[in-house]
Chains A and B, each alone.
Chain A
């Protein structure tokens, strides 16, 4: 088909949309972090150490990025059982990451850095980390959908586009966290 050949070198529209969406999400976090910078330069800023479990959780999400990458490779090789195991593992690591966050929050509460009537610097950590977790959970939900799709018998899809979209998003959430971690560590 003529139209087909004219466009075969272009990126799939869904992938394109994902890239724009990632730009959009990045802007939201830039909004948060620039608010943080503005606020930090004003009086009454209370600095504190990030919960150490945040560093452990970083390893967890890095590992999940690796398993996601392997899952995509297995999908392309049509190794469906390995693919299913790997996306399950990725989702589990995502949940584990979220649990680490909750422990981090508890740690902050124990150090007298509560959300309610606590210092603004702690408030920022709670909000930024919570909004990031929401994005991780969104990724976990996407992986669950992929998982059940892989078991579907009536309609089989052989397109790797949905898996690629999910993988790109997963790596994005990972990189986003690295950015936030570096930012929150340096700008305390």
Chain B
């Protein structure tokens, strides 16, 4: 079945009530009469769904980042009071100080929101949706209806999570990993009451959303590529979305089974994770369970999850770097191969999160080896990015700067991964600020940089307008410098043994030396947060008032999305879908600045 027929089949289903006839040809414009609801709300157009994911992600990012500002106030200024906090948080900030319970709720929600709602749904949800059909040459996803469901399950998950902020006992507060027994026993902490149930329900809905989305991404990439678009002619973005979707489809169900068992432990009196426990001086009847079991199930998703977050960023950075260096990507097949290796290894390293749980050291040795192996494909990618821009004719657009920033943070965050991947060093560094610094730089900041690069780069395709460049440069430099100022010092705190997840260190004399540093980090956090708000303003302002795009291919790129009209309708190409004749990276070739993928290979052309 062709692209046209698939898309059309969907339209038939929607429109048969209105007596909408079957189109015979597809040479005319693909616009249908759409109501406001079917165009902007329950849209089945992948481009609109992408925008829905992006804007929902931005809203969540603001909330998640604001939470980090709030708990950084506590960490940076443990003795100060902020009366305005009490007016917004009520009894959660009695006397202007965040209570311990609120602190843990904020930390938990910060992690959950950023990892799942922003960097999974907001990043891969947005750009997989937006770029897959446009770059492989399809009119829409394999199943536009399922694609719409994917967004609305995410929306429902968001609503449930949002609702948990407003229940009397507060949202879940046992950490974003929700380890039992704390998360399994409502009596153990007030955050483990209804807030924890809402968290689990929300996450289950989120898993459904990810699965529906992932199914579509995979079958679209494998089935709906345009004529001539063989797998090896696909841009690296598409490869990265492909591996991301495979990881998600295979690992999220395991998380779901872990959550199902947790729900049974919470409400059906089973003891999968619980054994020999005392709560408030009372013996619990649960016997025979194992809390470590949950950690296995959780991290079997949890580790692939970090690659679900970083792979799309890697793919998009590769694309943005090649375009803006006006050079072909260096080592295309090595890039694909290293992503494949990362995707395989992602499933084999989960126990490196559990070195100090009493894991058999002999078994741990294998996980150390496999973990350190990830350094190989990662290093290949870094090498290729650097050689791609090496001696390139670089255009320093905000997108290109964020891509270069990505490579920088990926290196500095990735190197500390080699430390933490060693079981013996991990005994000292586990659960310290060193870990916080490592994963925030390599996964958080890097993924955000990839996302910013992609937003600056594809915004013209999304909205037909540019983001303001000057604000883009300010945004980049403050974010880059700020991110390093925030997370670099945390390495030293961690090496000194300062544990994470603590509410107050003041009674701990050995960490008093860091009081000034903590205050400094918190001030930088506030500045960087304000700078992100500047970006958000730029984003929404530019949707309506930004400089208009006047050519179909503003970045002079080779890929198919730039062959569509400036504001493509549903169906993407008004006429036939263009045919592809070459790979996506013919830049500066045979004296030409670039050759689009749609140009046939001429006989006297040199091979790449």
Contact = CB atoms under 8 A, between A and B. Distances in A.
Interface stretch (B87-95, B220-228, B515-523): B220-228
A15 to B, nearest CB: 9
B211 A2 contact: no
B300 interface: yes
B270 A31 contact: no
A120 B289 CA distance: 7
Contact of B257 (A7, A32, A38, A39): A32
A45 B256 CA distance: 24
A117 B253 contact: no
Interface string B237-264: 0000000000001111111111011001
B286 interface: yes
Contacts of A42: 290
A128 to B, nearest CB: 9
A32 B72 CA distance: 39
Interface stretch (A22-30, A88-96, A168-176): A22-30
Contacts of A44: 275, 287-288
Interface residues of A, number: 45
Contacts of B226: 3
Interface string B1-31: 1111110000000001000000000000000
A25 B253 contact: yes
**Consensus secondary structure, chain B interface:** helix
Given A3-B2, A17-B143, A43-B288, 17 more contacts: A1-B4, A7-B1, A17-B146, A17-B215, A20-B214, A23-B250, A24-B249, A31-B297, A32-B257, A34-B296, A35-B257, A35-B261, A39-B289, A44-B288, A117-B271, A119-B288, A120-B271
Interface of B: 1-6, 16, 142-143, 146, 211, 214-216, 218-220, 222-224, 226-227, 249-258, 260-261, 264, 268-272, 275, 285-290, 293, 296-297, 300, 576-577, 579
Interface of A: 1-4, 6-7, 10-14, 16-17, 20-21, 23-25, 27-32, 34-35, 38-39, 42-46, 115-120, 123-124, 126-127, 131, 155
A8 to B, nearest CB: 8
Nearest to B219: A16
A20 B218 contact: yes
A31 B5 contact: no
Given A21-B215, A155-B16, A27 B253 contact: yes
Contacts, number: 139
B270 A123 contact: yes
B257 to A, nearest CB: 4
Given A20-B218, A31-B254, A120 B288 contact: yes
A16 to B, nearest CB: 4
B254 A28 contact: yes
Nearest to A116: B269
Contact of A24 (B5, B146, B211, B268): B211
Contact of B264 (A21, A24, A127): A127
A14 B285 CA distance: 48
Nearest to B579: A2
A38 B296 contact: yes
B219 A13 contact: yes
Contacts of B275: 44
A176 B270 CA distance: 24
Contacts of A21: 211, 215
Contacts of B142: 13-14, 16-17
Q: Please list the 10 inter-chain residue pairs (A to B) with the smallest Cβ-Cβ separation, ordered nearest first.
A: A116-B269, A28-B253, A13-B142, A31-B254, A31-B257, A123-B270, A44-B288, A16-B219, A27-B253, A4-B2
Nearest to A10: B223
10 contacts: A13-B220, A16-B222, A17-B216, A24-B215, A29-B257, A31-B257, A38-B293, A38-B296, A119-B288, A131-B257
A118 B286 CA distance: 9
A39 B250 contact: no
A83 to B, nearest CB: 21
Contacts of A131: 257, 260
Contacts of B269: 115-117
Nearest to B250: A27
B271 A123 contact: yes
Nearest to A2: B227
A117 B290 contact: no
Nearest to B264: A127
B578 to A, nearest CB: 11
**Residue picked from B142, B252, B269, B270, most chain A C-beta under 10 Å:** B270
A13 B576 contact: no
Contact of A23 (B2, B249, B268, B289): B249
A29 B258 CA distance: 11
B286 A27 contact: no
B494 to A, nearest CB: 31
Contacts of A35: 257-258, 261, 272, 293, 296-297
B213 to A, nearest CB: 11
Contacts of A127: 260-261, 264, 270
A28 B4 contact: no
Nearest to B3: A3
Given A21-B211, A117-B285, A14 B143 contact: yes
A116 B271 CA distance: 9
A45 B288 contact: yes
Nearest to A11: B223
Nearest to B265: A123
Given A20-B218, A25-B253, A123-B272, A6 B227 contact: yes
B251 A27 contact: yes
A77 to B, nearest CB: 22
